[in-house]
Structure 1
Amino acid sequence: MKRSTPVILGLLLACSSTSFSQSANLTTWPKGASPQEVGKRVAARFVATPHTNFNRPTPPSVITYPETCAWYGALKFAKATGNDALKDDLIKRFEPMFTTEAKLIPPVTNVDWAVFGSVPLQLYMQTKDKRYLELGQGIADKQWAAPDEKAKAKVKPEQMLAFEKGYSWHTRMWIDDMFMITALQTQAYRATGDAKYINRAAKEMVLYLDSLQKPNGLFYHAPDVPFFWGRGDGWMAAGMAEILSSLPENNPDRARIMKGYKTMMASLLKYQAPSGLWRQLIDEPTAWEESSSTGMFTYAMVVGVKKGWLDKKTYTPAARKAWLGLVSYIDENADVKEVCEGTNKKNDKQYYLDRKRIVGDLHGQAPILWTAAALMN
């Protein structure tokens, strides 16, 4: 597979065992591979990208979650680098949501659509414009309020049972949920300081950990799908890093979440490919190396090293190797290669192995932006 040529030689040298042991840090990088350079390129690409419909040519009916997650990442990167011009561009992208593009705001009927609220909440924290707070907080509140009549028609009995036990009615026991729900509720906590939001997210995370995490630290895509799908596990890893970054030390669920996080990180070390990437099916040696899952695992690992949750001597080399491997998958247009297409659950191993490998899908751009911001912080 052809990769971006300007930095490839430096990246290959940086990933070699000799140079790697001599520069196992997260602060110095080969030319073209620093988080400042990479994040700026990928963020600019996002700004220039129209609203996308999972890489399909037809316009989306609402903002899709890959765009939401990339938008959120670009805002975090703008803040981490003090890039006011980028922040202004991201604000301009949002302004039509209050007028001509209001119809693109997703209704709060499922986790994939509700995560959109994390963007206006991030905008509020950076601008203090209360329009953003009202919109984002309203979405976070609806995720825990009883579903309206229109939404209720699509809610499954087990989801209503979860709601009656104090969980979100968006609960469906797919591991993807543990970024979507967690990002929104944690953002609402950060924006308002109201502990109910972070407490909700923590309770939900513990439910998923207790129900879905396997002894090896990884997660099946869903209880009835016994495969360790890369991006699904990536959502879980990123979600744990996201909530732990803001969860108060005295929260009763923190220890359980930290245990789940550390167990997963230790397992990921065992499955990292020599290139630094992780595979479409994490434990399948013949599976193709997939970039979006790698970005999410790299983000979770970088946050853990930076926060002191993970042993630096053990995890810094792995995180560095992952970042450099990931950067080599960015092409000359600042699009990420080898991104698994959007994937529903299916109890069929070959289904996962045969998923399309896309260039420029925002599933791949988003975690690069999260990670660039985390490295800058």
Structure 2
Amino acid sequence: MKKPTLYRLMAVLFFTAAVNTGAAAQSKKANAYFKDFPKGSTPQEVGKRVAEHFVETPHGNVGHGPSKFIIYPETCAWYGSLTFAKETKDKALLDKLEQRFIPLFTTESSMVPEAVHVDNTVFGAVPLELYMQTKDQKYLTLGRQIADQQWSAPEGARATPQAMEWYHQGYTGQTRLWIDDMYMITAVQAQAYRATNDPKYIERAAKEMVLYLDSLQRPNGLFYHAPDVPYFWGRGNGWMAAGMSELLRSLPENNPDRARIMKGYKTMMASLLKYQAADGMWRQLVDDASSWPETSCTGMFTFAMITGVKNGWLDAATYGPAARKGWLKLITYLDENNNIREVCEGTNKKNDHQYYLDRGRVTGDLHGQAPVLWCATALLR
């Protein structure tokens, strides 16, 4: 071997070792904030209680009564329960979560939501997760069909001029520029990518995310609920934070949209750090100190920070304590039945500051249960 070649090889090996050492140090630093939790507050204990509670919960959502089809809060809690089962290698829990799904192929098939709206289409994330854990082809077939339908040409009453314009620009016809969407769209498309390794799915989600970042993120890093609703609603911003985290977790390093999305994510995280209350909570309106502490957004922001620290996107010394504080305060809102309190009820957009402050506060709503499960999973990844 010629000396220059040997020197180059040694340089590559040295660089690789340095990178790996740096990554290991970052991981060790991150985990220092995410271990040694007090008894009863570990992600294993909390996640198990909340996931088992979900298994026993009928289809639907708190305050809505029986549902004609699976609605997105249930999807989000189901997905969180499945990912928790995976990280804890809890086969018994996985079996229960799968048994909940099996009737949707037969006696409860009418409950599978029609994939014509972002809130319905996110359901595909659940069968795709079941496929990845069980390798049963029927779950992949259903989940992929739903993910593909999201990018198909709008039909019937859904084929509005605006929807068709989005579709012809390469976006989903389900685009509506509400911040909620960027979890709903991202979750199912990222899951389809993870299940198939087909890059079209993650590229769709990334392209869509950039559209929402450019349309809704403000200079302070936070997001309006919609272009015509200039309020920083807590859970709406939570959907964006969680959506970007899920996307970046799987988006290839060489994707042309990754840098833009990472910039949007980091700008948001820096702003959230400033608005976190001393006890670890975030509020119903993120930037309004007079608004009430709200648990679903706190769970989502905490999930986003845990994920960022664990993956090395965020400085562990800066964001690790904030994420730990968020988790420990969040779980104090769980009651003796493992229902989380102070969850903002389902909320449509409205250009009215007081409207957001007056939203009802619900206990056990799956909008709030789901982020607890996401956090537990993220802490264990």
User: Structures share a fold, TM > 0.5?
Assistant: yes
Match of 1:72 among 72, 79, 93: 79
Match of 2:146 in 1: 139
> 1:161 corresponds to which residue?
165
How many correspondences in the alignment?
351
Please, which of 36, 40, 49 is the counterpart of residue 44 of structure 2? 36
SS at match of 1:249: coil
Q: Which residue of 2 aligns with 1:252?
A: 256
Whole-Å separation in 1 of the counterparts to 2:278 and 2:228: 31
What 5-or-longer segments of structure 2 have no aligned partner? 1-30
What root-mean-square deviation, in Å, do the aligned CA atoms of Structure 1 and Structure 2 show?
A: 1.0
2:85 pairs with 1:91: no
Q: 2:312 aligns with which of 308, 312, 332?
A: 308
Q: Which letter maps to 2:67?
A: P
Counterpart among 221, 235, 256 of residue 231 in structure 1: 235
Q: Does 1:189 align with 2:193?
A: yes
Match of 1:240 among 234, 238, 244: 244
Q: Is the 8 A contact 2:234 2:284 kept in 1?
A: yes
Aligned letter for 2:45?
Answer: E
Counterpart contact for 2:117–2:174, Cα < 8 Å: yes
SS in 2 for 1:278: coil
Greater helix percent: which structure? 2
Q: How is 1:1-377 mapped onto 2 (pairs within 5 angstroms)?
A: 25-57=33-65, 59-149=66-156, 153-377=157-381
Deviating beyond 4 angstroms after TM superposition, the runs of 4 or more aligned structure 1 residues are none
Alignment deviations for residues 118-172 of structure 1 (CA, whole Å, 9 cap, x no partner): 00000000000000000000000000011232xxx14543222111100000100
Cα deviation, 1:169-206, whole Å, max 9, x if unaligned, reads 01000000000000000000000000000000000000
Give SS of 1:61's match.
coil
User: AA paired with 2:126?
Assistant: V
Give the TM-score normalised by structure 1: 0.92
State the shift of 1:213 in Å. Answer: 0.5
**What is the rounded CA distance, in whole Å, between the counterparts of 1:80 and 1:53 in structure 2?**
25
Q: Name the counterpart of 2:19.
A: none
Task: Summarize deviations over 1:243-274 as a string: whole Å, max 9, x none.
Answer: 00000000000000000000000000000011
Amino acid at match of 2:219: P
Query: Do the aligned residues in 2 keep the contact of 1:120 with 1:136 (CA within 8 Å)?
Result: yes
Supply the distance in 2 between the matched residues of 1:160 and 1:100 (Cα, whole angstroms). 35
Tell me the amino acid that sits aligned with residue 210 of structure 1: D
SS at match of 1:189: helix
Q: Could you report, residue by residue, the CA deviation over 1:27-63 in whole angstroms, capped at 9, with x for unpaired residues?
A: 1101111000000000011001000145223x10110
Larger Rg: 2
Distance 1:156 1:320 in 2: 45
The amino acid across from 1:161 in the alignment is E
The one-character-per-residue Cα deviations of 1:318-377 (angstroms, maximum 9, x if unpaired) are: 000000010100011000000000000000011100000000000001011011011011
Distance 2:353 2:79 in 1: 32
The question of whether the paired residues in 2 share the 8 Å contact of 1:186 and 1:198 is answered with yes
Distance 2:246 2:160 in 1: 28
Specify the code of the residue in structure 1 equivalent to 2:249.
S
- Cα distance in 1 for partners of 2:102, 2:123 equals 14
For 1:224 and 1:24, locate their aligned partners in 2 and report how far apart those are by CA, in whole Å.
Answer: 43
| Matched residue, 1:17 | none
Alpha-carbon distance between aligned partners in 1 of 2:150 and 2:73, rounded to the nearest angstrom: 19
Residue type matched to 1:284 in 2? D
Maintained 8 Å contact 2:61/2:365: no
Aligned-residue sequence identity (percent) comes to: 67
For the Cα contact (< 8 Å) 2:118–2:185, is it kept in 1?
Answer: yes
SS in 2 for 1:289: coil
AA aligned opposite 2:288: E
Paired letter, 2:53: R
Report the Cα distance in structure 1 between the residues aligned to 2:357 and 2:159, rounded to whole angstroms. 30
Bigger RCO of structures 1 and 2 (CA < 8 A, at least 6 apart) = 1
CA distance in structure 2 between the partners assigned to 1:92 and 1:216 by the alignment:
45
Q: Is residue 62–residue 364 contact of structure 2 (8 Å, CA) maintained in 1?
A: no
Counterpart AA for 1:29: F
Contact 2:345–2:361 under 8 Å retained in 1: yes
Whether the 8 Å contact between 1:24 and 1:320 is mirrored in structure 2 is no
Map Cα deviations across residues 204-260 of structure 1 (whole Å, 9 max, x no partner): 000000111000000000000000000000000000000000000000000000000
